[in-house]
Amino acid sequence: MKLFVLLLFVYLLYLCESQGISAGTMFVLKGEDVLLNVTNADVFQDVFSFTWKFNEKKNVLTFNSGNNPKVFPDYTGRIEFTVNNFSVKLKNLQEADSGVYTAVVVNHSGDETEAKYSVKVQDRASLPLLTVSSVSRNSSSCSFTVTCSSQHSHINSTFTCDTRTCSQEGGERSEGIPDTFLQVHQSSGSIICNHSNHVSWTNDTKTIKDVCAKPDVPPPPNPIYIILAVLFTILTPAIISVLWYLRRRRTCKRVSIENTVYDTAQFVAPARTQDPTDDEASAPPLSSTYACVGPHTGPAAPTEPRNTAQLESVYAQVKNTTPGP
């Protein structure tokens, strides 16, 4: 029974190849070209018509014996056709070009030979993001959890490392969604997050040494600077207060000196005990006589404030009131 099944499988495979059917999917990077061939050489004999179709409904190109090939509008300028082997090159493929391309060959006897290609157009894999969720450290080891994420999926994984080795809990982790793969593992002292598809790949990495490194602790501040700052804070207001007090005191003293008012001297006549006709010899000694000091009768003093350092004494006019001989 097993031998019969095997022989049947081989026969079907041969039949498919003889009919020019290509199995599998061709993955193409967005913006690139793809070449589709008709591999069965027997179809080149006695060709009546040839057609390439997209998803079995939309015509891409047709060719009739004795005529030039006809390219349909959606593919104008985006296709190259070789008459000798009926191969076709599609240029600048976009994601909308993904689908099944079928070659149909009709000879004069009416036989049809098909070649089918499933084409999948993919963009470049996006850059993944590797983040560290938590870190636990002690004197001999370090444990941490990372998250490897892409636009559509993510993976969490925990690592435990010592000074020599690093192990991944549960082994290498990977996750696949249709035609896209996400993987996280450790290699050569780094944690690697890979994101790939059938046409490209990219990754994000972190160094284990950097993840497990203890955070830098800033050194304590210099006590001298603290003391100087405190003294400056205390002494500055005190010095300003002293200077302000001295300046105010000097101003008050100056105003007090300028506003001093002196009394006016009054004349008092000396008492006479003898007749003024007596002889000078018999007259008693004269008492001291003072001049009568009156108010200043000159021009008025200027109204501008005067500098106390240049004040000048102003004396009144002195008159002699001693009686004549």
Model confidence pTM above 0.85? no
Per-residue pLDDT tens digits for 5-43: 332 333 333 333 333 444 478 999 999 999 998 876 666
Element (H, E) at 14: helix 2-18
Report yes or no on 64 lying in a domain: yes
Q: What is the mean pLDDT of residues 313-320?
A: 49
Lowest mean pLDDT of 67-71, 137-141, 240-244, 276-280, name the range: 276-280
Report yes or no on 227 lying in a domain: no
Share of the chain above pLDDT 90, in %: 32
Q: What is the mean pLDDT of residues 149-178?
A: 86
Question: Which of 87, 92, 55 is closest to 76 using CA atoms?
Answer: 92
Note whether 95 and 77 are same-domain residues: yes
Note whether 113 and 55 are same-domain residues: yes
Burial degree of 183 (CB within 10 A; 0-12, 13-18, 19+): buried
Residue 18 has φ and ψ, to the nearest 5°, of: -65, -25
Note whether 96 and 194 are same-domain residues: no
Q: Which of 95, 122, 149 is the last residue in one of the domains? A: 122
First to last CA, the chain: 182
Report yes or no on 257 lying in a domain: no
Note whether 16 and 99 are same-domain residues: yes
* Residue 115, domain CATH: 2.60.40.10
Print the domain residue range for 207: 129-212
Residue 225's pLDDT band, with cuts at 50, 70 and 90, is confident
Note whether 116 and 145 are same-domain residues: no
- CB neighbour burial string for 101-138, b if at least 16 within 10 angstroms, e if fewer: bbbbbbbeeeeebbbbbebbbbeebeebebeeeeeeee
Report yes or no on 104 lying in a domain: yes
Residue 159 pLDDT > 80, yes or no?
yes
Lowest mean pLDDT of 86-90, 155-159, 235-239, 266-270, name the range: 266-270
Residue 216 pLDDT > 60, yes or no?
no
Element (H, E) at 229: helix 223-258
Residue 204 pLDDT > 90, yes or no?
yes
Per-residue pLDDT tens digits for 187-201: 889 999 999 999 999
Note whether 117 and 146 are same-domain residues: no
Q: What is the mean pLDDT of residues 250-271?
A: 56
Report yes or no on 76 lying in a domain: yes
Number of domains in the chain: 2
Residue 321 has φ and ψ, to the nearest 5°, of: -110, 15
Q: Which of 188, 212, 236 is the last residue in one of the domains? A: 212
Q: Which of 173, 193, 212 is the last residue in one of the domains? A: 212
Residue 4's pLDDT band, with cuts at 50, 70 and 90, is very low
